[in-house]
Amino acid sequence: MKRFRICAALAAVTMLAGCGVNTPPADSGSTATTAAATTAAGTTASSGTAAATTAAETTAAQTTAAAQTTASAGDAPELAGYKLLWHDEFNGDKLDESIWTRELRQPGWTNSELQEYTDSDANIFVKDGNLVLKAVKSQKDGKDYYTSGKVNSQNKQDFTYGKVVARAKVPVGQGLWPAIWMMPKDEQHYGQWPKCGEIDIMEVLGSDTKTAYCTVHYGEPHAEQQGTKVLTAGGFEEFHDYSVEWEPGEMRWYIDDELILTVNDWFTAVQGEDEKPYPAPFDQPFFVQMNLAVGGTWPGNPDDKTDFDKAEFQIDYVRVYQKEKYDTNVKKPEAKFRKALDDGNFIYNGDFKEKEDLTDDTNWKFLLFEGGEGAAEIKDGQIVITSQNEGTVDYSVQLVQPELPMVKGKKYRVTFDAWADEKRDIITCISAPTAGWIRYLPDTTLTLETAKKTFTYEFEMTEKTDPNGRLEFNMGHRGSTATVHITNVRVEEIK
């Protein structure tokens, strides 16, 4: 499971799973933790290409035959261009263990989560046409103890390429973290996470049920791309539809049939070696899994207001469709790098002379997470950020501009003018939303006075070249909601 920012208006996301690694929210202002290299698994470039092609050509027929009985039972709608591969409508009175395995895990297995995943009917059960994964709070050795449910289809309903559709509702409560996601059947084929790849169809934090995340993880070094959907009415504690279309050269995520994220430029490699042939690692069989985590590096721990009587992740159905055939002759698109303006500035509209939509993914974007409340407005050659609630994390109130080209070996200077209506702190950085949320310019706390002041920072790019660096101004959780003013923002290459 994992995190987020823009260009993935993403927020902290850690790996949902299995390999025991964390990643922060996409739009988080915290420093990401990247996975250490463990095993150099995988094939050579030539044999890897042949194996991937064979798998892509044969898997559709093999998995369709294996799932024929499952697909023919129950009611699931037809989708144009697809055949139903397998599905579960959860219309019975118990879990269908020909599809699902109850996964057992101890507390702290991954992401510093608190729950024990059990096979108990108290944590995993089917009721009223839904699969219910329920978190239970009890006492053990005089301390709070949590159990919950996790199921997966590994070695029972694995498949390569297809469309996964699920309908679900999430619980409300601090520290609850439901997810529907996918991992490879053979995690060691390309190496341990993140080299193996991970597809997160949906994640929602119980502390902010208006925001849902979809993410893909790959690498190494660890990279991710993430999309978010923020509801303006209602929340994801009501039933919503989540889906991913996984094809050899592209993945597309949808929430309620709205396209949220498109990704086609992933990679995998052993640290220090050449990349494996594209589209690795997403050219191998994956399986679906679902869980309700408690606590962890992203959501934080439950509090006194978390109602465990209602801590239920309910899934109405899971349906997997597949096309008759897929074109596996795909090439990775070339990276596109933003060009600097005539004055050398990589920031567009850095003087705020032009009004723009601050909710889209073009140039500036204003974001709110984890209890942050506020607004941003461009006027009089500046951007003015007002806050009503500072939220619980530094990125709760956030202004960003992505797509900054960061080239290994180059030096850069960041400058801007800023002030506030009252003395207060903010945090700035240049982050890597598609490269594990590492920092090219480290998180830097600065104090704003009521008089305008120019701030200047220089750094050398020592990491792998990245076309998607992101300048951030984080104004959440700083002990102040004083209005912030910013103008004359520049990011430029220097000698």
Residue in this structure with the two tokens 């009415």, named with its chain if needed:
233
Phi, psi of 463 (to 5 degrees): -90, 180
CA distance 107 to 74: 36
Beta bridge partners of 431: 439, 470
- Is the pLDDT at 69 greater than 50? The verdict is no
Say which of 113, 187, 198, 312 is annotated catalytic: 198
End-to-end CA distance of the chain: 41
- Angstrom distance (rounded) from CA 80 to CA 356: 38
pLDDT at 97 over 80: yes
Q: Who contacts 471 (Cβ-Cβ below 8 Å, separation ≥6)?
A: 347, 400, 401, 404, 414, 428, 429, 430, 489, 491
Beta strand pairing call for 484-494 and 411-420: antiparallel
Average pLDDT over residues 293-300: 95
Which residues lie closer than 8 Å to 367 by C-beta, 6 or more apart?
A: 5, 6, 9, 27, 395, 397, 398, 399, 400
Q: Which two tokens stand for residue 66?
A: 């294996």
Per-residue pLDDT tens over the stretch 75-85 = 899 999 999 99
Which pLDDT does position 347 carry in this prediction?
98
Select the more confidently predicted residue: 64 or 301.
Answer: 301
Strands (E), 149-285: 150-152, 162-169, 176-184, 198-205, 208-218, 223-230, 240-247, 250-255, 258-263
Whether the domain at 11-322 and the domain at 365-494 fall into the same CATH topology: yes
To the nearest whole percent, how much of the chain has pLDDT over 70?
85
Does residue 25 register a pLDDT over 80? no
Q: Which residues pair with 315 in a beta bridge?
A: 131, 168
Active site residue 390: no
| Per-residue model confidence (pLDDT) at position 271 | 78
Using pLDDT thresholds of 50, 70 and 90, give the confidence band for residue 71: low
Range in 61-70, 295-304, 335-344, 449-458 the model is least confident about: 61-70
C-alpha separations of 479 from 391, 420, 482 in Å = 10, 14, 9
Which CATH architecture is the domain 11-322 placed in?
Sandwich (2.60)
At residue 270, the pLDDT reads 86
Q: CB–CB of 389/424 below 8 Å?
A: no
How is domain 365-494 classified at the architecture level of CATH?
Answer: Sandwich (2.60)
Give the rounded distance of the alpha carbon of 109 from its chain centre: 20
> What is the chain's length?
495
Residue 436's pLDDT is 86
Mean pLDDT of 5-21: 36
Is residue 460 among the annotated active site residues? no
Catalytic residue among 113, 187, 203, 403: 203
With b for 16 or more beta-carbon neighbours within 10 A and e for fewer, the 322-350 pattern comes to bbeebebebeeeeeebeebeeeebbbbbb
- Domain ranges in the chain are 11-322, 365-494
pLDDT digits (tens, 9 = 90+) for 130-155: 999 999 999 999 999 999 999 999 99
Distances (CA, A) of 358 to 366, 471, 487: 5, 15, 15
Q: What is the mean pLDDT of the chain?
A: 88
Q: Specify whether the CB–CB gap between 277 and 52 falls below 8 A.
A: yes
